[in-house]
Structure 1
Amino acid sequence: MFVACHLAITYIRHFVTKENEEKQYIGWTNVPIVKQPRVSHQLEADIVMTSDLFRCRQTAYVLFPNHVIECSYRWRELHFGDFEGKTYEQLQAVEAYRHWLDDPVRYAPPNGETLTEFETRVEQAIDDVVYRSVSHVVVVTHGGVIRYILSKYASDVRPFWKWHVPFGEGVTLYNTRERWRERKRCISLAAVRFKESENG
């Protein structure tokens, strides 16, 4: 049980989609998950939030069927613009794609979102969490969002691409509300895994 000044935030990556399995970029592409597994867990949340995209909403309803779920576009993945729905193999010869891979801070996907725009949006989403008077919030979101948050706020300092975030799993970041508001790294973290029910 957390005291009032503590705020734990659990970030969960949505369950896998067909497009994920085919290694397509699907930032803002609105696609469903492959299946709705029956899972058991002991997570108790004061608030459940999710990206407004279908795959995250589906995952949230599977995991927290008895909660009111708040949806927000701010928890969306990076908008990949013209790269949406395409794979590395389809894009590797495209000059704009190579520029973006080499320097994603300077370059954005054509008709997509810059890294700065993405980060600003996610930080606004975090603000919406840390100014609530609660002790545990669950956020169902996307791999890129969780990697960004871990690279910025995990107690273990690693760059963005060094964080592995499996589909249907997550991580809880433990911190004080004041440290969250000051954007200080968390005090500790723990992996979150869900056990699929044997009868499901």
Structure 2
Amino acid sequence: MWNRTETQINLILIRHGETTSNSFGRYLGRTDEELSAKGREKLITNKMAGKYPKGEIIFSSPMKRCLQTADIIYSCRKPILIQEWKEMDFGRFEGKNYKELKEDIQYQAWIDSNGELPFPEGESREEFEVRCKEGLHKLLGVMEQKAGEAPATAAVIVHGGSIMALLSAYCGGDYFDYGCKNGEGYVCSLIRNNSEIRIEIIRKL
């Protein structure tokens, strides 16, 4: 519930459905790729099976693959767009997969750093996490305006990187601990107590 010091929100984090690049293991960041036919079909199957909890307010990255996912899962609700939740900029690695990059010295250096080095001509994980956190603060601002007595449920359709950034920042643990497949994600509880924010994972989708 909401009061002067504490906010609690039911938070559903969902990674967008599969794209063609995803199916080939390619780094897909700034490229605004649509869902593949297979990705759409899988989301529809998941929805029909009751995989996705109901969301009162829907938030989404502005990228096509997320908007299309939101339209399939939550077709009756128009999502609120959070620009800060675009996927990470993978720079020179964009559109390539491990097989194509494994001989690249800069790629090997990035692997050896556990992803801590910035992507060449792209974004650093630190920069990415900062903007993902800014996006979460925007969500909190919207939810506060719509506050009621009971905790509201926000469904968030974003990217794999966005989910890893938010959960590692507010749950602790390693960034890569929170990876999930397309169309999957986490059911969480988001608690803000004054300036402190934490996310507690209830279960995986």
| Alpha-carbon distance between aligned partners in 1 of 2:23 and 2:192, rounded to the nearest angstrom | 37
Structure 1, unmatched stretches of 5+, are 193-200
* CA–CA separation in structure 2 for the residues paired with 1:125 and 1:147: 14
What are the residue-to-residue correspondences of 1:88-107 with 2, within 5 Å? 88-103=98-113, 104-105=115-116, 107=117
Structure 1 residue 140 corresponds to structure 2 residue 154: no
Establish whether residue 57 from structure 1 lines up as the match of residue 70 from structure 2: no
Which residue in the other structure is 2:198 paired with? Answer: 184
Task: Provide Cα deviations, 1:162-189, integer angstroms capped at 9, x if missing partner.
Answer: 334121112121133327x512342x42
* Equivalent in 22, 28, 31 of residue 30 of structure 2: 28
Runs of 4+ that moved beyond 6 A: none
Which of 150, 160, 167 aligns to 2:182? It is 167
Aligned mates of 1:95, 1:82 — CA distance in 2: 12
> Normalising by structure 1, what TM-score?
0.84
CA distance in 1, matches of 2:132, 2:67: 17
SS in structure 1 opposite 2:193? helix
Matched AA of 1:30: D
Aligned length: 185
Q: Counterpart amino acid of 2:32?
A: N
- What SS does the aligned partner of 2:122 have? coil
CA distance in 1, matches of 2:131, 2:16: 19
Instruction: Measure the CA separation in 1 of the matches of 2:24 and 2:198.
Output: 37
Contact persistence 2:129–2:166 (CA under 8 A): no
Q: Within 5 A, what are the aligned runs for 1:119-158?
A: 119-131=129-141, 132-133=143-144, 134=147, 135-154=152-171, 157-158=172-173
Please give the per-residue CA displacement for 1:32-83, whole angstroms capped at 9, x wherever unaligned. 1112232233633232111111111100010111101112331122110111
Aligned partner of residue 82 in structure 1, secondary structure: helix
Distance verdict in 2 for CA 1:51–1:185, change over 3 Å: closer
How big is the alpha-carbon RMSD for the aligned residues of Structure 1 and Structure 2?
1.9
Cα pair 2:18 2:36 within 8 Å, conserved: yes
Please give the alpha-carbon distance, in whole angstroms, between the structure 1 residues aligned to 2:198 and 2:13. 17
Residue 183 of structure 1 aligns to which amino acid in structure 2? I
Could you tell me which runs of 5 or more consecutive residues in structure 2 were left unpaired when the two chains were aligned.
Answer: none
* C-alpha distance in structure 1 between counterparts of 2:199 and 2:55, whole Å: 21
Q: Using the alignment, how far apart are the partners of 2:31 and 2:129 within structure 1?
A: 19
SS, match of residue 119 in structure 1: helix
CA separation of 1:63/1:185 partners in 2, compared to 1, >3 Å: closer, same or farther? Answer: closer
1:1-12 superposed matches below 5 A: 3-4=1-2, 5-12=7-14
Q: Which residue, 79, 84, 93 being the options, matches 2:94?
A: 84
